[in-house]
Structure 1
Amino acid sequence: MSMSAQPADWTREVGRVRAARTATLLVFGLNGFAFATWMARVPDVKDMLSLTPGQLSLLLLAISVGSLCGLPTAGRIAHRIGAANTVRLGMVVSLSGLVAAGIGVEAHAAIPVMMVPLFLVGLGIGAWDVAQNFEGSIVEQALGRSIMPWFHAGFSGGTVVGALVGALLTWLAVPVGLHVGGVAAVCALGTWVLSARFLPAYDEGASDAVGAAGPHRSPWLEPRTLLIGLMVLAAAFTEGVANDWMAVAFVDGHETSNALGVVALAVFLSFMTAGRIVGTGLLDRFGRIAVLRVMFATAIVGCALVVFGPPWLAFIGVAVWGVGASLGFPVGMSAAADDPARAAVRLSVVSTIGYGAFLIGPPLIGFLGDRVGVLDALLAVGVVSLVAILVVPAARPLEAERAEP
């Protein structure tokens, strides 16, 4: 790697690093706020458009397909134009799609019409997600300690706020279009301003940064990267199924109101956020492997309580599930970014594999939901979490891996 493409040294610019840390945390939060805004209105969308679980899964699938179209190249785009510009690009595309989807719901648009703006939502979110994780890895390297779960806690915190606001506005019968339009405006302004504080990955003027990964083989051929991607896929499935279907499962399976179903989603998101805040200390004390195994096992227990328990116990299960789902995704991102010079391209690969869960999850749960009910279909999370426990060792830090005989 040429000297002009060396990773930037931020050790003497503590103030700038801290500003970037705060900005990155808030950008993660705005991303989560925008995402949860749509998820909170899914029960209303289902009712307004008279959708079956299978039809609803097609709408959710459109978001996933969009994400998977953007993710494979997002890492190289971030290398070429920077994390800040890539976040802004993804934000504009995703929020434009969100506003158009809100208008479509109010107009009772047909499913094929609704799938177009939701595809844009996914396309933009995919680029936004890779770029903010790339920036998170830059800040993490600059600080010299593991804080990626904090950034994902910021995302989760944003989803909690989004879900609670969504529950309130659902109860107040605020139109979906007005709700998502207002949120889009707030998130667009905030993200544009905050991303100006991001740190570049390489020294100023390093125009050949993208070439840093050139001499290496494709990350798609690296066994460790692929196994981390599989673990992240399982974590994303565990988290994504709850985001997409928790409210619907409580409404259809436990016969709660739409607003109470959104509260169940908010409980899940709140405890997932708490798990990410506390989890950083656990990772430092016990290491990635032990903590991840316990977390995935906890998700299995929580899923079982949600499905088999009465409503009061199901709410406890939601909390347990949220804790169990908290660390798999952010730790997978940290593991993919262990080598700073290869962080962006490996993050792109791991994110692409991980977002496969959002491609698989909606149709799988929708298909099972049409046959056994959405609530019982959630048991698929337990099966996927068992697979994750088997591949967790791939997330072992590279330093530890190299130290082994």
Structure 2
Amino acid sequence: MPRPAAAPRGRTAPPVAPHVTRAHRQLLGLYLLLGVTVSSWLARMPSVRSALDLSEAGLGVVLLLGAVGSLLTVLVAGGVVTRYGSRRTLTAAAVMFSVATVLLGLGPALGRVEVLVVGVFVMSASFALGNVPMNVETVVVERALGRTVVPQFHAAFSVGAVTGSLLGAGAAFLDVPLLVQFGGIGLVSLVWRLASIPAAVLPVPPRAADAPPAARGMRSALGAWRERRTLVVGVIVLTAALSEGSANNWLAIAVVDGFRQTEAVAAVVYGVFTGSMMVARLAGTWAIDRFGRVTVLAASGSVAFGGLLLFGLAPSLPLAVVGVVGWGLGAGLVVPIGMAAVSHEPLRAASRVAVVSAFASVSSIAAPPLLGLAAGAVGARHALLLVAVGLAVSVVLARSVAAPADAQPGTPATATPPVDDDALVLAVDTAPDAPAATSATHEASVTPTAALPTVPAGPPAVPSAVPAQRGPLLEEVVR
């Protein structure tokens, strides 16, 4: 991968518009918050299991039902974002997530497994719904800034995950009731999200009427399922989601059962995993620019593979923690790289991110019951060794993330004046039909720009970062 183009000597890059800088900060905050809310729940998983007297297999079934909600939602999320815009979609996801968080605490408090199931289902659905616009918006911000920043957002999630796991460990140590912990987190997260979303979503330009028919709703979303490269990248992200998700769901339990440790110690070990992911993502900006996606992805899969094997086979907890560090370091960049690989074309970014996210949801559906059944037979720690097979697959397929082009962040262009997000939806729906623009090699026709997405997973300020022959609207991201 070529290095980012350096600014000529004696010249400085154009200033970044204030609303772009503000969007960058607010989006970082949303990723951090998401990490806190998810990890604080996952760190208390042993308490949830004990309160409801669930076996490993029973807990696996509960998580499976949640994964079904995620898959059903992500299948339509790309079309929802394209039709209604990132702002509305993120707001709906925020409300759903907060309601679900309360249900997660209410189920164990009432001793009702069905309430927990509803909470897990709604939480997974809200995560899938919000994941697509958040990942797309990271690409938009990156292009507007003119430099690689996407790994920063995933690093912010990891920072939040570390914070959340420590909060969970503290709550477990102090024996804080699950309903009190989750209820408080649900309220705080809702207020935070509703306050941040308007500024986190960059405005769209007043040129939406030029949108081609391919940019509209469900047709564009479903078309991404016929793209071979998108499907291959989806498989890579599936293996990454399997790795990270299995750690999220089973690492704490594996430490409790496999090493006879307390829940608080298990939460700290989980914090080591998320902290290692954070370090990888903080270093990811430099690593990707220096070595390229293919090399970083292959190295990540190899390190995660070795770390997971060490954790599963280590005779002592300290040595297993070393394996957890390697596992987390290797797992940190696979999802950002995968999301980036399918987000190089603004008009199709939401649809492709939705497809890749669907693969991640499939892994969430398959992993809980399989690992739960395996854990019942050989223990949770040894059951996690099954995930190593997926990591080997990601290494084999690593080269696919390089095609069709590895553009780099260029110079931020002059910011577009703010326009309401909803204006684009109306304009796209009423735009006259026009022949679809022909596609050309991305690198040959654009100023070097980021090919990155999170996930996670957008709109304007992508001026000179798109092929000129595709029409003026393609200077921006259609949502």
> What TM-score does the superposition give when structure 2 sets the normalisation length?
0.79
Q: Structure 1 residue 403: deviation in Å?
A: 8.6
Q: Secondary structure at the match of 1:355?
A: helix
Give, in angstroms, the shift of residue 90 of structure 1.
0.7
Show the counterpart of 1:115: 117
The equivalent residue for 2:19 is 16
- Report 1 or 2 for greater relative contact order, CA contacts < 8 Å, sequence distance ≥ 6: 2
Alignment CA distance shift 1:208-1:380 (3 Å): farther
Change (3 A) 1:197 1:397: farther
The one-letter code of the counterpart of 2:169 is: A
Count residues in correspondence. Answer: 393
* Aligned mates of 1:201, 1:343 — CA distance in 2: 17
Q: CA deviation at 1:257?
A: 0.8
How far is 1:207 from its partner? 6.6
Indicate the SS of the match to 1:189: helix
Report how far residue 112 of structure 1 moved. Answer: 3.4
Distance 1:247 1:207 in 2: 51
- The unaligned stretches of length 5 or more in structure 2 are 1-13, 408-440, 444-479
Q: By how many angstroms is 1:33 displaced?
A: 1.1
Q: Which residue of 1 aligns with 2:474?
A: none
Aligned mates of 2:242, 2:138 — CA distance in 1:
22
Aligned to 1:366, which of 372, 388, 402?
Answer: 372
Structure 2 residue aligned with 1:252, among 236, 251, 257? 257
Q: Structure 1 residues 210, 27: closer, same or farther in 2, change over 3 A?
A: farther
Q: Is the 8 A contact 1:148 1:331 kept in 2?
A: no
CA deviations on 1:22-80 (whole Å, 9 max, x unpaired) are 11111111111111121011000111111110001112112211111111111221222
Moved more, 355-364 or 328-337: 355-364
Aligned to 2:169: 167
Residues 1:382 and 2:427 aligned together: no
- Do residues 154 (structure 1) and 174 (structure 2) align? no
Q: Which moved more, 1:352-361 or 1:279-288?
A: 352-361
Secondary structure in structure 2 of the residue aligned to 1:239:
helix
Of 327, 332, 346 in structure 2, the residue corresponding to residue 340 of structure 1 is 346
Contact kept, 8 Å, 1:333 with 1:350, in 2: the verdict is: yes
SS at match of 1:337: coil
**Partner residue of 1:240 out of 237, 245, 248:** 245
Q: Which residue of 1 aligns with 2:328?
A: 322
Q: Deviation of residue 289 (structure 1)?
A: 0.2
In the TM superposition, residue 314 of structure 1 has moved relative to its aligned partner by 0.6
2:347 is the alignment partner of 1:357: no
Shift of 1:205: 6.5
Query: Cα RMSD over matched residues?
Result: 1.9
> 1:394 maps to which residue?
400
> Would you say the 8 A contact 1:80–1:210 is kept in 2?
no
How many Å separate the matches in 1 of 2:71 and 2:254? 26
Contact 1:338 1:398 in 2 (8 A): no
Q: Is the 2:103–2:115 contact (alpha carbons within 8 Å) kept by the matching residues of 1? A: no
For the residue of structure 1 that corresponds to 2:147, the secondary structure is coil
Bigger share in helix: 1
Which of 284, 292, 302 pairs up with 1:297?
302
Contact 2:16/2:145 (<8 A) preserved: no
Partners of 1:233 and 1:154 in 2: CA distance: 22
SS at match of 1:398: coil
Q: Is the 8 A contact 2:82 2:215 kept in 1?
A: no
CA distance in 1, matches of 2:206, 2:22: 18
Partner amino acid for 1:32? G
Kept after mapping to 2: 8 A contact 1:63/1:121: yes
Q: Distance in 2 between matches of 1:41 and 1:350?
A: 29
Contact (CA 8 Å) 1:82, 1:200: kept in 2 or not? no
Q: CA 1:397/1:280 → structure 2, altered by over 3 Å: closer, same or farther? A: farther
Question: Which residue does 1:133 correspond to in 2?
Answer: 135
Q: Provide the residue aligned with 1:283 in structure 2.
A: 288
Q: Normalised by the size of structure 1, how large is the TM-score? A: 0.93
Tell me which amino acid in the other structure corresponds to 2:33.
Answer: L
Cα gap change, 1:263/1:62 in structure 2, threshold over 3 Å: closer, same or farther? same
Tell me whether 78-87 or 187-196 shows the greater mean CA deviation: 78-87
Q: 1:54 to 1:203 in 2, by over 3 A?
A: same
Paired residues of 1:17 and 1:143 also in contact (CA < 8 A)? yes
Q: Are the equivalent residues in 2 in contact too, given 1:202–1:209 (CA < 8 A)?
A: no
Q: d(CA) in 2 for partners of 1:135 and 1:62?
A: 29
Instruction: Give yes or no for contact 2:23–2:202 (8 Å, CA) kept in 1.
Output: no
Q: Give the equivalent residue in structure 2 for 1:228.
A: 233
Q: What is the rounded CA distance, in whole Å, between the counterparts of 1:398 and 1:148 in structure 2?
A: 19
1:71 aligned to which of 62, 67, 74? 74
Asked whether the equivalents of residues 76 and 210 of structure 1 are also in contact (C-alpha less than 8 Å), the reply is no
- Secondary structure (helix, strand or coil) at the match of 2:309 reads helix
Q: Distance in 2 between matches of 1:345 and 1:371?
A: 40
* Conserved 8 A contact 1:83-1:200: no
The answer to whether the 8 A contact 1:289-1:392 is kept is yes
Following the alignment from structure 2 to structure 1, what is the Cα–Cα distance between the partners of residues 210 and 107? Answer: 43
- Would you say the 8 A contact 1:62–1:122 is kept in 2? no
Match of residue 103, structure 1, among 102, 106, 116? 106
Percentage of identical aligned residues: 34
**Per-residue deviation, residues 83-108 of structure 1 (Å, max 9, x unmatched):** 12211111111220120121111111
- 2:6 equivalent in structure 1: none
Q: Given residue 292 of structure 1, which amino acid in structure 2 is its aligned partner?
A: L
* Contact persistence 2:101–2:185 (CA under 8 A): no
